[in-house]
Amino acid sequence: MRVLGVDPGLTRCGLGVVDGGKGRAVSCVAVDVVRTPVDASLATRLLRVSEAVEEWLDRYRPEAVAVERVFSQHNVRTVMGTAQAGGVVALSAARRGLPVVFHTPSEVKAAVTGSGRADKAQVTGMVTRLLGLAEAPSPADAADALALAICHLWREPMRARLAEAEARAAELAKAHKARLAAAAKKAKGAAR
Amino acid sequence: MRVLGVDPGLTRCGLGVVDGGKGRAVSCVAVDVVRTPVDASLATRLLRVSEAVEEWLDRYRPEAVAVERVFSQHNVRTVMGTAQAGGVVALSAARRGLPVVFHTPSEVKAAVTGSGRADKAQVTGMVTRLLGLAEAPSPADAADALALAICHLWREPMRARLAEAEARAAELAKAHKARLAAAAKKAKGAAR
C-alpha cells in the first residue's frame, strides 16, 4: 500500500510518499516541500498547492491520502490558510476517488513515537530511523508529511477492521430485530 | 460586470449571481443553495461543493468571484469546514484565471445596509429590495451570497481606483528618487 502524506500549508506544504510492506516495514518513495509566495493572492497560493498535489498524485499514484487535521486556536489567520490548503488537497484526492483520511497531530505523534506529546525533533528522529534515511528530512513539514503517511499505513488496517466489525454487528442486530418482528407477528396470528 | 457571490459552507453553501449595471443598479441572475450530506466524508462534501461551483462558473460565466472571509472563533469545527469550502471555491475560480476577492461579513453588511452590524433580516430585506425580487431569498445563505456579489460590485471600482492611484504614486516616487540620484551624481561631478 502506498500513501501520500500531506502537512498542509500555504507558506510550506509538506508532501511525503511512503510504501508500506509486511508488518510495520515502511520505505520512503519521495519527500518534498512546496512553497508558495507570501505576496501572492490566497487563490493563487491554493492553486499552486493544488497543482503540486495533482502532479504528485499523477507521478506516484498513491492508494490513499493522509492529511493533517488542523485544530489549533492559535493565529486564526494561519489556521484558515492551512485548513484551506488541506481542503484543496482533499478535493484533489476525492476527484480521483482516492480515500482521504485526516489525522490529528497527536495521532501522528503517537503512531510514530509512541507519545502524542512528542516534540518536532523526536518525530523527525523516528521518521528518519523508521524509513532508514541517510539524513533527517528538512524542514519539519517534510518530516511531518512522512510521519502522516506512516501513521496512516499503521492505523488504517485497524480502522478498517473496526469498521468491518461494526458493519457486521449492525447486520446481526438487524437480522435479530427482523426475527423478533416475525416471532411477534406469528404470536399475534396464533392468538387470533 | 457579472459576479458570483459565495457564502461557503458544507451543510449549506449559498450561491448568487448578480449583474451590475450603471451606477448602483444590480440585478439577480440566479440564486441557490447547495447542500451536502452531513454523514458524507469531508472530502466527498468538498467535492460536491466544488462540482456545484464549477457548474455555476460554466453556466453563468461570471467575471469575478466574491467569497465570504471566515473569521469567527466560535465552533472551530464548523469554521474549518467553512474555510475549506471557501478554499475549494477560490481554487475553481483561480483555475479559470478569474479574480477572487474575500470580503468580511461586516464589509458585506456595510455595503448592502449601510451598517456593518446589521442583522440577517436587515441584510435579506435590503438584498430583496435592491434586486427587486418578488420574495426574499431563503435560506439566509442564499441572501448572503447575493449580498456578497452586490458588495463586490460596489466596492470593486473603488478598490481598483485606489490600487491604480497607489501604483501611480509609487511610480512618481521612483521617478523622483531617480531624479534626486541623478542630481546628486551631477553635483559630485561638479565638485570634483
A104-120: pLDDT as tens digits? 999 999 999 999 999 99
Whether B144 sits among the annotated catalytic residues: the reply is: no
| Shortest Cα distance, chain A CAs vs residue B189, angstroms | 40
| Cβ contact B51:B57 at 8 Å | no
| Cβ contact A74:B77 at 8 Å | no
Does B19 have pLDDT greater than 80? Answer: yes
pLDDT tens by residue, B58-117: 999 999 999 998 876 566 667 888 999 999 999 999 999 999 999 999 999 999 999 999
| Cβ contact B15:B27 at 8 Å | no
Does B160 have pLDDT greater than 90? Answer: no
Cell of A120: 518536532
pLDDT band at A43 (very low <50, low <70, confident <90, very high): very high
Those of residues 68-127 in B touching chain A at CB distance below 8 A are 70-71, 73, 76, 80, 83-88, 90-91, 93-95, 100, 102
Q: Which residues contact A48 (CB under 8 A, 6 or more apart)?
A: A34, A36, A40
Does B161 have pLDDT greater than 90? Answer: no
Spatial CA neighbour of B27 closest among B139, B165, B153, B191: B153
Task: With beta carbons under 8 A apart, name residues in chain A contacting B44.
Answer: 94
Q: Which of B141, B156, B164, B171 is catalytic?
A: B141
Tell me if A87 and B41 make a contact (CB, 8 A cut-off): no
Q: Which residues contact B95 (CB under 8 A, 6 or more apart)?
A: A47, A50
> Span A117-139, mean pLDDT?
95
Does B119 have pLDDT greater than 90? Answer: yes
Angstrom distance (rounded) from CA A27 to CA B169: 56
pLDDT higher at B171 or B151: B151
Residue A159: the pLDDT is 75
pLDDT tens by residue, A11-32: 999 999 999 977 889 999 999 9
Does A71 have pLDDT greater than 80? Answer: no
- A32 assigned binding-site residue: no
Distance of CA A155 to the CA centre of its chain: 10
Query: What CA–CA distances, in Å, run from A113 to A118, A134, B140, B156?
Result: 7, 19, 47, 51
% of chain A exceeding 70 in pLDDT? 97
Superfamily classification of domain A2-160: Ribonuclease H-like superfamily/Ribonuclease H (3.30.420.10)
Angstrom distance (rounded) from CA B172 to CA B57: 39
Whether domain B2-159 has CATH 3.30.420.10: the reply is yes
Other CB atoms within 10 Å distance of the CB of residue A94: 22
Task: With beta carbons under 8 A apart, name residues in chain A contacting B51.
Answer: none
Angstrom distance (rounded) from CA A19 to CA A123: 18
Considering chain B, what is the average pLDDT of its residues?
92
Judge whether A41 is closer than 8 Å to chain B, CB to CB: yes
Judge whether B46 is closer than 8 Å to chain A, CB to CB: yes
